[in-house]
Amino acid sequence: MHTMIRTAISMILLGLLAACAMPQDQGFAPVARDVKARSGHDVAWLRGEEARQMADDLTGSLLAETLTAETATRIALVNNRDLQATFAQVGIATADAVQAATPRNPVLDAAMKLPTEGGGVNLDFGVAFEFIDLLFLPARRRAAEAEAEATRLRVTAEVLALAARARNSFVAAQAATRDAALTAEALIVAQAEADAAKILRDAGNIPAGRLAAAAERLVQARLAASDAQGRRIAARERLNLVMGVRDDTWRLDDAIPSPPADDGLDGLERRALDASLDVAAARQDLVALGERNGLARRLIADGEISGLAERNEGAWEVGPSIAVPLPLFDLGGARSARAKAQVQQAEDRHAAAQVRVLSAARAARAGLERARADVAASRDQALPAGREALRQATLDYNAMQTGVFDLLDARAAAIDTERRHVAALAAYWTARANAELLAQGGVAGAVASVASETAGEH
């Protein structure tokens, strides 16, 4: 009942966050809608003490429950301050687009001339407009809007990558926790073997080599248990870092679920290419450079139209003026060549992004298929075989057909098999999260960094 109440409260808080966290849009609303459509997650740009306090309340409510992959992801998306800092890029890019669509202010000149030999004061006034700037204002606005859209796409990709990183970090913490528990059991078995070996050696029933071997295995078990505890702590801290959590009081269930019957990722390569935010952002870069290429090709870089007013000895003289640079030396060739090279560069990067996505999708699909096969082999063959071997060793020991060392060896082997199964499960869920990230449109380059955070492998 308490868990249901806390869950309801957290859902209400999350809804309020989305409603009030951003009183001024500044281009972020499309990012939030795109993230929701692609991943189903809600995300908010927190600005102001009220929004920050609501985020803290939501985080506290979720951390009070047993942590799951879903709640860890929700915490990361609302509480990770690096992500919040990234959202400012959207506001900056949107402001730049607005600025680019705004004509430059006219320049007012004023001068007062005092005659040295007496007479009236002469006044000069002038207002100058950069008319070339006004002519190219639409192209500059289109270029800035394309750049702002590219920024929004890349920020959306960062949100999706963080969600995948949170899920993978949670699975890594689960696996490391379970592995630490199993190595602790293995240490108990090794200690029992060492104790039995000492007793039997003191009685003269085993050779000295058997005692030394048991002692060596005990040392190795202690080292393995210590290493597993270190990985467990490191995995929890990685998850803390992704979630933006300062303490380590939360708890999680170390039971990693089995793979579903169907991964639901058919046609991953085409889906990843169609949804790719990396490719879409590169396309917007190309659009922006195309617009700026047209600007760079103009022969006349600057020009002004002015209105002048001069009072000379009490009489006003009013008239227009124009100032245009003469293209005698700089004919714009260098600017045009630079712009063409940038457009070619953008075209190549757009094509390269497509290749990266397709390659990453094929690798992700192959990795997911291999991970699923490893889990199946471990679950359907290795685990049952290990359990049966332990059962037979127990029966043989009870029938006094084998010794205590055979029983302990069988138990140690069963533990080792279970550790490999935990590692296989973690590898599967990591591979699945990476494949889902690509299917959602995540950037291909983010997959390796997400996968590298997996801990607890054996």
Packed helices 137-202 and 277-296: angle between N→C axes, nearest 10 degrees: 150
CB 27 within 8 A of CB 90: yes
Determine which of 95-99, 127-131, 276-280 has the lowest per-residue pLDDT on average: 127-131
pLDDT on residue 144 = 84
> Taking 70 as the threshold, does the pLDDT of residue 422 lie above it?
yes
pLDDT per position as a tens digit, 287-317:
887 777 765 555 445 555 555 555 555 566 5
Q: Can you give the pLDDT at residue 108?
A: 65
Q: At what angle do helices 137-202 and 69-79 cross, to 10 degrees?
A: 140
Per-residue pLDDT band at 362 (split at 50, 70, 90): very high
Please tell me the predicted confidence (pLDDT) of residue 5: 46
What is the structure's pLDDT at 158?
A: 95
Report pLDDT for 218.
96
State pLDDT tens for residues 314-343: 566 565 666 666 666 656 677 777 778 878
pLDDT for position 12: 43
For residue 143, the model assigns a pLDDT of 83
Q: Are 160 and 434 in contact (CB under 8 A)?
A: no
Residue with tokens 């712009």: 339
- Which has more confidence, 185 or 139? 185
Confidence band (pLDDT; 50, 70, 90) for 433? very high
Arithmetic mean of pLDDT over the chain: 83
Q: Quick check: helix, strand or coil at residue 25? A: coil
Mean pLDDT (whole number) for 9-13: 47
Residues 387-407: pLDDT tens digits? Answer: 999 999 999 999 999 999 999
Please tell me the chain's helix, strand, coil percentages from 3-state DSSP, rounded to the nearest 5.
70, 10, 20
Residue ranges covered by each domain of the chain: 104-135+300-330, 141-297+332-451
- List the single range of 46-60, 122-136, 251-265, 393-407 with lowest mean pLDDT: 122-136
Is the confidence at residue 417, as pLDDT, over 90? yes
Q: pLDDT value at position 180?
A: 96
More confident of the two residues 258 and 8: 258
Using CA atoms of 26, 29, 34, 40 in order, give the dihedral in degrees to the nearest 10.
140
The pLDDT, as a whole number, for residue 337 is 78
Residue 438: closest CA among 426, 448, 428: 448
Residue 20 scores a pLDDT above 80: no
Predicted model pTM: 0.82
Q: What is the mean pLDDT of residues 173-192?
A: 96
Class of domain 141-297+332-451 as given by CATH = mainly alpha
